[in-house]
Amino acid sequence: MKTLILIDVQNDFMPGGALAVPGGNEIVPLINKLQEKFDLVIATQDWHPNAHASFASSHKNTKEFDMIKLDGLDQVLWPDHCVQNTQGAAFHPDLETAAIEAIFRKGTNPKIDSYSGFYDNAHLKSTGLTGYLKDKGAKELYFIGLAAEYCVYFSIKDAISEGFETILIEDGTRALNNQDFENARLDILRKGGKIITSKELNF
Ligand code: VGL
Ligand code: ZN
């Protein structure tokens, strides 16, 4: 049962958006093309309330992209992004959504960030994604979307530890910082995840 998981294909992560990932828009045609190859397609959406704790604007004497400790965890302070029900939180207008069977929203707790589609950053609360996927009989999870070294990487780490066969489609992601993504790639491989290009999908 091959499942494609679209991570945060949202306007704020596209060039011109609040937290733009360089080239983020370039992956949308590939995502649209690949969907029909899969038995199940699901998506995640970064979905923050106003004044979320991950926003630099919620803290005093800080600026965007500063690193702070938030309840003991490292936290990058982001520009305000993906605020619930705004255009920035909407999927890219060209993303085909007809085949997306479920959307898992994350980052809704105002006090804690949530990069992974499975758990918040402190692993305190599950989104229910593991249970949903296991109930559906999903075994191999293919990941695509944004941003490579944040929400894609954190989702992949959780998918591996939840026991799924986990594959990153490398040409279907873009990073905020390529060096950070290189470290994430090595960690994915070390943990037993696979990294392929879409050309290698032979089904
Ligand atoms: C993301 C930073 C903050 C992501 C979400 O989707 O990768 N990155 N919120
Ligand atoms: Zn976010």
Answer whether 112 contacts ligand 1 (Cβ < 6 A): no
The residue type at 99: A
> Looking at residue 157, what is its pLDDT?
98
- Average pLDDT score over residue span 74-102: 98
7-38+54-200, what's its fold? Answer: Rossmann fold (3.40.50)
Answer whether 46 contacts ligand 1 (Cβ < 6 A): yes
The residue type at 164: F
DSSP-assigned states of every residue in 166-179: EEEEEEEE--S-HH
**Which is the catalytic residue, given 12, 80, 82, 106?**
106
Q: How confident is the model at residue 53 (pLDDT cuts 50, 70, 90)?
A: very high
Q: How confident is the model at residue 151 (pLDDT cuts 50, 70, 90)?
A: very high
- Domain ranges, ordered by start, for the chain: 7-38+54-200
Interstrand relation of 100-106 and 194-196 (parallel, antiparallel or unpaired): unpaired
pLDDT tens readout for residues 176-202 = 999 999 999 999 999 999 999 999 999
Nearest alpha-carbon partner for 146 in 36, 41, 14:
14
Q: How confident is the model at residue 55 (pLDDT cuts 50, 70, 90)?
A: very high
Nearest alpha-carbon partner for 33 in 198, 202, 165:
198
Separation between Cα atoms, residue 26 and residue 170, nearest integer Å: 13
Dist. CA 161 → ligand 1 center (Å): 20
**pTM more than 0.85:** yes
- State yes or no: is 2 an active-site residue: no
